[in-house]
Structure formats: structure tokens, C-alpha cells
Amino acid sequence: MRKYRRAFFIPKEIFRIKKFTFSIAIVVIVILVALIGPLLYPKLNLSLYAGPPDSPPSNEYPLGTDRNGRDILSHLLVGMRTSLYVGAIATVIALTIGVIVGSFAGFKGGIVDEILMMITNIMYTLPAILIMILIASYLKERSPLFVAIVIGITSWPWLARAVRAQIMSLKEREFVQMSKMSGLKGYEIIFEDLLPNMASYVFMSVALLLSISMLAEAGLSMIGAGIDPSTESSLGIMLQRAQQGEAVRLGRWWCFIPPGVVLVIITTSLLMLSTSIDEYFNPRLRGGK
């Protein structure tokens, strides 16, 4: 009986903002390299002593090898994929929890709001780092999925708060009252009326969460509390290996510069993406009209 003709303004005009086009191009390129790179690179070799250890970049090994002879380029390509995987899963988890908690707290108000906010505030104070360090001391097999889940369930509080604030201001708008008086129930109003109006914020949050999660993974892995390095590679793990091998002191830049640069590129372009989305939907930020 209900046929809603929904509008999703994925406006073409947004591509006119150079920042947006530029940053989304970089993000897409990085994702493609991460996904397809390992398939295209003919000399993919993830084993130890794939080549002579500590060799600088050459024709054989374009990014050189590390202290244990690992081919940096192979590990970089696979590492990008792992880091992105962790980032994506963590983002999905944090987004889902954050949006659901925030919108119900904001919309229902009263006791529901108080309870949900109490939970949110408690979760706020639990840093992923401490949890992971604790777990690292007990669990040997820390898969990327596991790390992603931990990051995801510790990153949602700020999003819940932000979503709640937006919902609380939107719900006073007359169109929400009209929907209420049309007999729509709470969750229907949240999903049909309120969330589509926050679409821009949701997109921004996805970009932000992705970059935060990838940095979190890198940080955790660097201190050895993240993904189990014995079976996997990620950008963070590569940095950790470089650190353990004293690559900085010994001048073996090819061990830490490539993963570092890739990390910087992906997180910066994600940040740029999120600010350009914000600028598009808030023209005031574009530098005055």
C-alpha cells in the first residue's frame, strides 16, 4: 500500500568540487591496487628469505627486502589489502552500532536515552589499545577479523553521540510531526524520515571511520598488540617489523617509507574526502558565497 518514491540526491554536482574528485580518485586507486595488485604482481612471494636480506630496491625486488629477506613490495600489496579489510569491517561494525544507538537515544529520549547514553559513555572510556594489549597477552591467534571487531566495538561512541545530536534537532521539524500524525511508528520515522536527511553525515562518517580504523590497526600492530604477525602482513605489521629491525637507525628506508607513505596517503585522502562532502552539503564552509 505504501509506495514511497525516494530521492537519493547523489548529485553529480559534487564532482565539481575538485577536492572531492581528487580524493575519491586516490581512494579508489588505493583500493584497486590493494585488491588487484597481489594478483597482478608476477613475483609475489610472501615467504621469509624470498631474497637476500637487507637489500635496497633493485630490479629484482622493486622495494627491496627487509631484515628477514621478505619482499617488501609483495608484503606491501597484501598488507594494504589486510589493512583495508580491517578498516572496512571495523567501519561497518562501528557505523551500525553508532547509528542505531544514536538514533534511538535521540529519538526516544527519556529513559531509553539515559540508558543508551550511559552505555555510550562507558564504552567511550574503553580504549581499543588497552583491550588489545590485554588480549594480546593471552591470545596468540589474533586474526585481522578479530582486531577489526575490537576496533569496531570501541570506535562507535563518538558517532552515536553525533548521530543523537543530529536526530534530536531534526525530530522537532514539522515533517517529523506530520509523519507521526500519519501513524508512522518510531523506527519507521527514524529510518524513513530522519536518516535520509543525515545521509551526508553518514558518508562523512564512513570516510572518517575508515581512516581512524586503519590508523588504529597500524598503531596496535606497531606495538605488537594487533594482528598476529606470524601469519599475516598489514601496513602496521610492516612498520613494526621495520622498527624491530632497527631500519631507521640502519638507514634501511625501504622498510618503513613505503608502508608509511601508503598509510599517510590513504588516511589523508579519506579525510579530504570527508571534508569535501561536508563542504558540499554546507556551502557556508566553501569560503563564503
- Give the DSSP per-residue string, 188-199: HIIIIIIGGGGH
Binding residue (CB under 8 A) for other proteins from 19, 67, 108, 180:
180
* Positive or negative torsion for Cα 217, 222, 225, 231: positive
**Interface pattern 17-56 for other proteins (x via CB under 8 A):** ----------------------------------------
Please compute Rg for the chain using Cα positions: 22
Rounded Cα distance between 127 and 37, Å, is 33
Q: Which is nearer to other proteins, 15 or 175 (CB)?
A: 175
Q: Which is nearer to other proteins, 6 or 18 (CB)?
A: 6
Q: Does residue number 196 form part of the binding site for other proteins (CB under 8 A)?
A: yes
Contact stretch for other proteins (CB under 8 A) within 59-67, 117-125, 176-184, 266-274:
176-184
Q: Which is nearer to other proteins, 40 or 111 (CB)?
A: 111
Binding residue (CB under 8 A) for other proteins from 177, 231, 268, 282:
177
Q: Are 186 and 169 in contact (CB under 8 A)?
A: no
Q: Does residue number 182 form part of the binding site for other proteins (CB under 8 A)?
A: yes
Contact residues for other proteins (CB under 8 A)?
Answer: 1-9, 173-175, 177-185, 193, 196-197, 199
